[in-house]
Amino acid sequence: MTNNKTKYLIVATFFMAIILLQVLVPWLGYIPLGAVIVGAQPTIIQFTVALAAIILGGKWGAFLGGFWGVITLWQAWSTPGTIGSLMFQNPFTALVPRILIGAVVGWLFNRWLRQKKSGFRTIGLGALGALSALINTVGVVLFTVVGFTVMKTNFTGIPNHNLLGWLLGLVSFNSLFEIITGIILVSVIGNIILPIAQRAGIHG
């Protein structure tokens, strides 16, 4: 039992290191190609959390999502002055969507996909990648709207009316690319690392 816990801790620490690198090195946490070609810059850190949840289970996934959220919160307060940092200074915005990604994706994979054949599982992994992008986007938008409304936030560039519509317009373009990216990354990488994790005795 102790040896098994050690395996999970080692893998979780590995994912923590990846998340930290993705946050600190922008091109590791985002896909810059879209920004160059069409003005989009999809975030991919949520897919690292989703993959961790798929490998380790929902509890570890939630923990790693929370780890990403804490880093985001710290960055928002340590480098203020932008709309983005203002959004993520709200602890609910920074933490809740990321924790939910790990918890929900891990639970769904264990409940519906872990024992399925590879073809069906591949489709399911792609769906979980898309879901992780949606959870992150929808969660951030909703908590931002609530936070800005409650706090009556007044900042250059933030409209006084139709805040929800403004935010949806702001994130919808990136969100489409994030969903497509999630489908590809989680299905491809998930199929590569799942057999390795199973051989190592890590089954969520």
Quote the CA–CA distance of 152 and 201 in Å, as a whole number: 51
Strand partners, 12: none
The reply to whether 35 falls in a domain is yes
pLDDT tops 90 at residue 82: no
The per-residue pLDDT for 94 is 96
The reply to whether 44 falls in a domain is yes
**For residue 59, how many other CB atoms are within 10 A of its CB?**
15
Q: What is the DSSP letter of 30?
A: B
Q: Looking at the 3D structure of the chain, how many domains does it have? A: 1
- Residue-wise pLDDT tens digits, 131-176: 999 999 999 999 999 998 887 777 666 777 788 887 888 788 788 8
The reply to whether 50 falls in a domain is yes
The reply to whether 15 falls in a domain is yes
Are 97 and 53 contacting, i.e. CB atoms less than 8 angstroms apart? no
- Residue-wise pLDDT tens digits, 32-47: 654 444 445 678 999 9
CATH at residue 116 = 1.10.1760.20
Would the pTM of this model clear 0.85, i.e. be above it?
Answer: yes
What mean pLDDT comes out for the span 123-137? Answer: 97
The reply to whether 204 falls in a domain is no
The reply to whether 68 falls in a domain is yes
The reply to whether 115 falls in a domain is yes
Structural domain boundaries, residue 119: 2-199
Q: For residue 98, with 0-12 CB atoms within 10 Å meaning exposed, 13-18 middle and 19 or more buried, which class applies?
A: buried
The reply to whether 186 falls in a domain is yes
